[in-house]
Chains A and B, each alone.
Chain A
Amino acid sequence: MPENQDSGLNHAVAVADGELRLGRTRVAGRQGRRAVADRDEDAVTMAAEAALALLRRWGAAGRPGALVLATTTPPYRAGGSVQPLAEILGLAGDVVALELTATAADGLAALRVASALAAPGRPALAVAAHRGSPGGEDGDGAAALLVGGDAEVLRAELGPAAAEESRERWALPGGPDRESDPTLTAALVEARARAAAGDGPAGVVSLAGARATARVERTLGGPGDPVAPAAGFLGAAHAPARLLAGAAEPQALVVTANGVTGLVRATPGPGAGEAAARAAAALAGGVEAERPPAEPPPAEDFAPYQSLPRAARERGQDLRLEAARCGGCGRVVYPPPVASCPSCGAPGPHQPAALGREGAVLTATRDHVYPDGAVTTMAVVVVDGGGRFYGQAVPWAALAVGDRVRLAPRVLHRGGDVVQYFWKVEPCR
């Protein structure tokens, strides 16, 4: 790369933990398989699923002071995607939140930014997610990395980065994910990758397409990409996903997309083997299918009510699932009582409580008439720790009375320029 575009910035990043989550369905891709998410998933919900797994594992010690979302497929093109992510993760109101939506190289940029924002005792969370367009060839998935503290999983050295104007950057609204001349792109990628990698062997993450990218990686002596053949190209999440999948060995990656190029070298930490094994399990998992899940459009007259003042007033009970513990009978009540307990009538005060995220199905139905495009499964859940949940299940759920389930963040509906996220019932695996 030209000398004058070298940023000269080098960052050492301690990654304490990481989690890779992929779309559930696996279909044949151009090379191997690709992971496809459900129709009610997007970059925010997949980022949330990956991050929630980390936060559950770490508890209070993992509570981040900063949240960086990287995705080239944000649900809100004009910004505003990281806020619902913060709500779903229970971080809203107490977190520095940023979103990076420039290029697929932003997965590394998120790591760089998170490292700069991490403080002693207050890690930062970098989450990269990708939701390819329906009918596209990309994979769907997210990788979350907890940055700061001890380098339990890996220590990354983020090397020089560069940005230059490139024809491959044009992604038109409503058009394909990206527009490129494959020949030109591959040549650009090769030139950049050689320059960035110097003489050492390196893996390559690029927009050039799986075949061309793999060829460049071979010329650089890289180990081969375990992610693309198993899940497809994961956009901004691809580089973090490769870091996790390859965590057990020293690795170097050249990441180049839309004229932005970066280099990362990583060395394993004590938890690297475990993290790599989890990533490998995610890559090997999924449910094989002939074709991606159907994405039927909702009925034409489907226009769910939205109110921003309502959303602000009730933000606690919406994505945060804030409940109350009755001051009289001690029951957990969700949504929190307006005043009196619905069970014992105690007028309060009631104590704040969190609705649990797992439970068992009390009853359910597959509703064929709710006009959201397809059959809608609705379920009542007896939540562990008290309280009930009633709502939609994920599209593939087949629920029976007594089934163990968990609550998962999903898109409830879209309309009125708002993506309404909420929790849905998902069978425990």
Chain B
Amino acid sequence: MSTSNTTYYIPHRATWPVLATAGLLTTLVGFANYLNGSSIGSTLMIAGLAILVVMLAGWFTLQATESESGMYNHGVGVSYRMGMMWFIFSEIMFFAVFFGTLWYTRNLSVPWLGGEGAKLATKEILWPAFNAVWPTNGPANVGGHFEPMGAFGLPLLNTLLLLTSGVTCTWAHHGLIAKNRKQLIQGLIATVALGFAFVLCQAFEYHEAYTEMGLTLGSGIYGSTFFMLTGFHGFHVCVGAIILSVVLFRSAKGHFTPENHFAFEAAAWYWHFVDVVWLGLFIFVYLM
């Protein structure tokens, strides 16, 4: 083990975590009040988000300063990498819930409602008119008529955008290792731009779904799984793009060396993770 404890950096006082907690709590209390129809909800939520923005800026700056002044030895770097890895693992489990939901409803609950297997009586007694074919909004035709989202068109374009952004991200990494700062920055700019382009296309797709296709969150189980999976993924793309922007900003300031660039690595891992999830989405939500 190469960790040398004598130089493992231990901060002796931390103020950002408490602020982070306060920000999260305020945001969530605001959101809950908003959902309950209380008028202070949105104000609280905005206040909470503002605290979170300040906190993130402060905490990121602190970490960047410490990192750049060389306070983190190899051991600290290993801890950060492990932290990021396990965080991504927890995110994988989060997505697994929604993929699992899609699998369960398509392969079990919808066929059961259609009388398959041991559930013949479910169709006969409760839903005699239901024809269980995916995509469906359920036996009660919840949300009315809708058109399912096709795979070719915007989703395919989005796939290309994200895959390309994965390539540009890796290209930037090569630039960083080769001490080619220009390549690093250009690669990152391309990645962030592709990321935001993806989000834009997604927004356009949602707009079309709501206004022209009758496809909404309320369109039964198809609408629920479609928007939950793609929306949750879109949220992650936004987060990833913001993290990459921070990394871009730091790269422009001359941060990172070929040996020491944990923040870049973390952002890149996260981005590739978001990329892989999209491939899963493209196959299971759009294609199949």
- Decide if A and B are genuine partners: no
- Measured CB to CB, the residues of B under 8 A from A are none
Task: Enumerate chain A interface residues (CB-CB to B < 8 A).
Answer: none
